[in-house]
Amino acid sequence: MFGLPLASLEPAHLRCVACSLSPAIIASMNDSAEQFSDQRGKPDYRPDIDGLRAVAVLGVVIYHAGFGLPGGFIGVDVFFVISGYLITGLILRDLRAGTFSLVSFWERRVRRILPASLFVMTIVLVAGYFLLLPDDYIELAQATIAQLAFCGNIFYWLGTDYFDGPAELKPLLHTWSLAVEEQFYLVVPVLLSGFFATNGRRMWQLLFTLALGSFLTCIVVTPIAPSFAFFLLPSRAWEMLAGSLLALGSNGSEKPITATWASQLAGLAALTSLVAAMCFMQAGSNFPGYLAAIPVACTVVLIQLHRQQATWTYRLLAHPWLVGIGLISYSLYLWHWPLMALTRYVFPSIPGTLMYLPLLASFPIAFASWKWIEMPLRGANLRGTKLFGVAATAMLLPLFVSGWVWLQAGLPERIKEVTIAPPPNLDTLIQKYRTSPVDFDLQELPILGDEQAQPSFLVWGDSHALALAPLIDEIASEHGISARLVARGGHPPLLGCWRPDTAPFQQAETVRWNQNVVDAINQNQWRAVIVIAAWQNYILQTGLENEEPKAEPADSQNQPVDASSPNRQQSAAVLKSQLQVTATAIREPIDIHWLPPAPRQKSNLAQAVRNLALNKWSPQPGAAVTLTEYRQQMTQINAAFTALEASQTRQPNQHHWADLSHCFFDPMGEPILVSGGEFCYVDDNHVSPAGAREYFYEALLAIVNEISLDGVAEQPRR
């Protein structure tokens, strides 16, 4: 997400982390460890498991803060294994004693999970009233309702698309993993109790078969549908079932004895591998897949090894400081993400180094949540109907508030009158212009302009074509002509290339979709084609790849780049070569207008403008990209399109590429960000309706004027 080395934290900052968990707090947590642990105060309490929880939650928290653990997200996988192990152990203990009850099991889960999570959701809803804009407040309300129904993961799976907004700004996104565990808790106790009563000795075979099926599902589905594999139980259950299988093999004795050298080395290897994975594994569309087996295997080894082996790693994980963090890990996980997400939302230009502030704040808040919410209610004398009645009543408050926010359209009356009108969100601009399917029917694509006229030109592009579609629609209507719009967000409109940061199936879709567009150009008579895309995004942010061998990563200044950053030199070479490939593939003479993009801003200036419309105390927008910086963004892009124009003597079609920098900056070189009292961007790179008119009106008007002089209706070639 954000790459800042941990070493960049100053010693004072690290001391603050230590101070946020004082020895008194640690002692208080340790005094309560055995009484309130998941082992219910039994002598076989495993302090090393709380230490392992600490490693997991610290990895997640540091990763989310952006402080140098690119693989810290695998802490969630560690939690899944621990949950499966502890929950299955509790169920088996009661089944073997003949005291198991589904009602009693779910009572324990309600006392363990609901109090803190309900409190966090309620506080976030209240904070959202003051901090979130209407569209985002509606999404928060919907996410809260979904999580109250134990379906938060399904909500985020269904809501994940190109226009859904940055993930780091969604305050309850992290609850997807809680929903996965809650769904596991609903299914596995019923399964285990039913199977134990009929054939207890075959239970291991049952769980192993389910785990294997889930693991294979995860491997197969990840490259095809990474969002499904990431969020949903069928492809995640194997991680918890791995812990369940460990619990089945327990003989009831958990007292560590002296370790052998082999055990010492195995423990060191497992813990080192887990930490190394947090340090070097990269987030991407290939996770979870087979890569999730690394943290799962390390966790399984550590839990199994420490049952009867007092290894060095056992002593390390059982250290009071780690145990203390492990005890508050649930509250820490609940609180850290909303604090970080809302900080980034309110301060869109915040330097990454200042994210230590919400990171530090999450520790004392988590301790307070653990001390005065988790612990008292977990040990409360509430049972049966009374407990479920209290829980249902407590759930009504966030449910009622969420429903009210949703029905009231996010309470737009909170927006104040301001000098600069806040731009709408991008998704509200594209409702009329739906995204093109990969295998489209030309007759079903949206029409821009006069719907009574036969389409005479084609608009082809990514989400930036969608952002300019309303303006093209308006200009074409005024001229009595029309166009077909074929656009897919995040898909570069070029033959034979793709974004390397997307899943393999999405890369294949990009290639097939662009080929379909070129076929549609060749098979129909068009007066012109307008191609609109965020060319600098593909060079500077996501990268571009084709089937050519990849060069060693280095930017245009021959400096090493971060592993998560695109190879700019290579991406620029791909752009140049695939422009030629695309031009050659369009066989018939036709005018092709390639539009340059607006400057990609250094931060989400539009979000800052929206925040100011909600709260006068919100920070002013940060510095905009200068003319010099924009020219630097465009250097390699201009070179690629200049080469294309120079080669058009060898091509049947005519390519047009214009320098529109004078439209983005005034004669003094200052950036133009406001037009007619409205902000010109909707985020850091898509233009608003006001920006579209300010930046692109003259260029599009000239193109449409030219087309209208000799329009040719859309019809198949003979």
Query: What pLDDT does 197 receive?
Result: 66
Question: In the predicted model, is pLDDT for residue 310 greater than 70?
Answer: yes
Q: What are phi and psi of 435, to 5 degrees?
A: -70, 140
What's the CA gap between 27 and 45, in Å, rounded? 17
Average the pLDDT over 649-663 and give the result: 79
Query: What pLDDT does 613 receive?
Result: 87
Q: Which residue has the tokens 């989310």?
A: 64
Mean pLDDT, all residues of the chain: 85
pLDDT in tens, 458-486: 999 999 999 999 999 999 999 999 999 99
Question: In the predicted model, is pLDDT for residue 37 greater than 50?
Answer: no
Instruction: Tell me the three-class secondary structure of 655-667, residue by residue.
Output: EEECCCHHHHECC
Question: In the predicted model, is pLDDT for residue 170 greater than 70?
Answer: yes
DSSP string computed for 442-505: GGGSPEEE-TTSPP-EEEEESHHHHHHHHHHHHHHHHTT-EEEEEE-TT--SSTT-B-TTS-HH
pLDDT in tens, 673-692: 999 888 999 888 999 999 99
- Residue ranges in 349-462 assigned as alpha helix (H): 356-369, 375-378, 384-407, 426-429
Question: In the predicted model, is pLDDT for residue 188 greater than 60?
Answer: yes
Average the pLDDT over 486-500 and give the result: 93
Query: What pLDDT does 481 receive?
Result: 96
Question: In the predicted model, is pLDDT for residue 322 greater than 50?
Answer: yes
Query: What pLDDT does 38 receive?
Result: 43
**More confident of the two residues 7 and 156:** 156
State pTM to two decimals: 0.85
- Closest residue by Cα to residue 115 from 366, 391, 335: 391
Query: What pLDDT does 308 receive?
Result: 74
Average the pLDDT over 18-39 and give the result: 42
Query: What pLDDT does 145 receive?
Result: 97
Query: What pLDDT does 556 receive?
Result: 39
Question: In the predicted model, is pLDDT for residue 710 greater than 80?
Answer: no
Residue 595 three-state SS: strand
Query: What pLDDT does 712 receive?
Result: 47
Q: For residues 448 and 434, is the Cβ–Cβ distance under 8 A?
A: no
Helices 102-131 and 605-614 cross at an angle (nearest 10°) of: 90
Question: In the predicted model, is pLDDT for residue 68 greater than 90?
Answer: no
Model confidence band, residue 252 (pLDDT cutoffs 50, 70, 90): low
Superfamily of domain 426-709: SGNH hydrolase (3.40.50.1110)
Question: In the predicted model, is pLDDT for residue 614 greater than 90?
Answer: no
Model confidence band, residue 654 (pLDDT cutoffs 50, 70, 90): confident
- CA 500, 506, 509, 513 torsion-angle sign: negative
Query: What pLDDT does 351 receive?
Result: 82
What's the CA gap between 222 and 274, in Å, rounded? 21
Query: What pLDDT does 186 receive?
Result: 92
pLDDT in tens, 526-572: 999 999 999 999 998 889 998 876 655 444 343 333 434 568 889 99
**More confident of the two residues 428 and 356:** 356
pLDDT in tens, 256-267: 566 788 889 999
Span(s) in the chain for CATH 3.40.50.1110:
426-709
Residues 6+ apart with CB under 8 A from 340: 64, 65, 168, 355, 358, 359, 362
Least confident segment among 100-104, 266-270, 621-625, 708-712: 708-712
- Closest residue by Cα to residue 309 from 260, 354, 371, 360: 260
Least confident segment among 246-260, 644-658, 680-694: 246-260
What percentage of the chain has pLDDT greater than the value 70? 85
Query: What pLDDT does 22 receive?
Result: 44
pLDDT in tens, 88-138: 999 988 888 889 889 889 988 988 899 999 999 999 999 999 999 888 999
Query: What pLDDT does 547 receive?
Result: 83
Average the pLDDT over 46-63 and give the result: 95
**More confident of the two residues 102 and 428:** 102
